[in-house]
Amino acid sequence: MTNIRESAETGIMSQEELFSRVNALKKEMNALILAHYYTLPEIQQVADIVGDSLALARAAEKNSADVIVFAGVYFMAETAKILNPSKLVLMPDEYAGCPLADSCPTDDFSAFKERYPGAVVITYINSTAEIKALSDITCTSSNAEHIIRQIPENRQIIFGPDRNLGGYLARKTGRDLILWQGYCYVHDAFSEQALLKACGEHPGAELIAHPECREEVLRHAAFIGSTQMLLNHTVSSHSESFIVATEPGIIYEMQKRSPHKTFIPAPKDPDNPRSVCKQMKQNTLEKLHQCMVNRKPEIVIEEQLRLAALHSITTMLEMTPG
Ligand code: 13P
Ligand code: SF4
The CATH number given to whatever domain includes residue 130 is 3.40.50.10800
Of 192, 201, 194, the residue nearest 220 (C-alpha): 192
Residue 67 contacts by C-beta under 8 Å, 6 or more apart in sequence? 29, 30, 31, 32, 87, 88, 89, 90, 292, 295
pLDDT in the model for residue 271? 79
Looking at the domain assignment, is residue 116 inside a domain?
yes
Q: Are residues 149 and 201 in the same domain?
A: no
Looking at the domain assignment, is residue 127 inside a domain?
yes
Higher pLDDT, 8 or 305: 305
**Residue 81 CA, ligand 2 centroid: distance in Å:** 19
Looking at the domain assignment, is residue 7 inside a domain?
no
Q: Which residues line ligand 2 (CB under 6 A)?
A: 38, 73, 98-100, 126, 184-186, 247, 277, 279-280
Q: Are residues 312 and 170 in the same domain?
A: yes
For the segment 5-26, the average pLDDT, to the nearest whole number, is 81
Q: Are residues 201 and 255 in the same domain?
A: yes
Number of domains the chain is built from: 3
> Could you read off the pLDDT of 119-176 as tens digits, one per residue?
999 999 999 999 999 999 999 999 999 999 999 999 999 999 999 999 999 999 999 9
Cβ-contact 167, 141 below 8 angstroms: no
Residue 72 has pLDDT above 80, yes or no: yes
Judged by its nearest atom, the ligand closest to the C-alpha of residue 275 is 2
Instruction: Give Cα separations from 293 to 31, 50, 155, 221, 290 (angstroms).
Output: 12, 22, 50, 44, 5
For the ranges 8-22, 33-47, 114-128, 285-299, which has the lowest average pLDDT?
8-22
Q: Are residues 292 and 312 in the same domain?
A: no
**Global confidence as pTM:** 0.94
Q: Are residues 132 and 111 in the same domain?
A: yes
Q: Are residues 198 and 222 in the same domain?
A: yes
* Residue 301: pLDDT band with limits 50, 70, 90: very high
Atom of ligand 1 nearest to the CA of 230: 4
Domain that holds residue 315: 100-183+308-319
Which of the 8 DSSP states describes residue 34? E
Judged by its nearest atom, the ligand closest to the C-alpha of residue 211 is 1
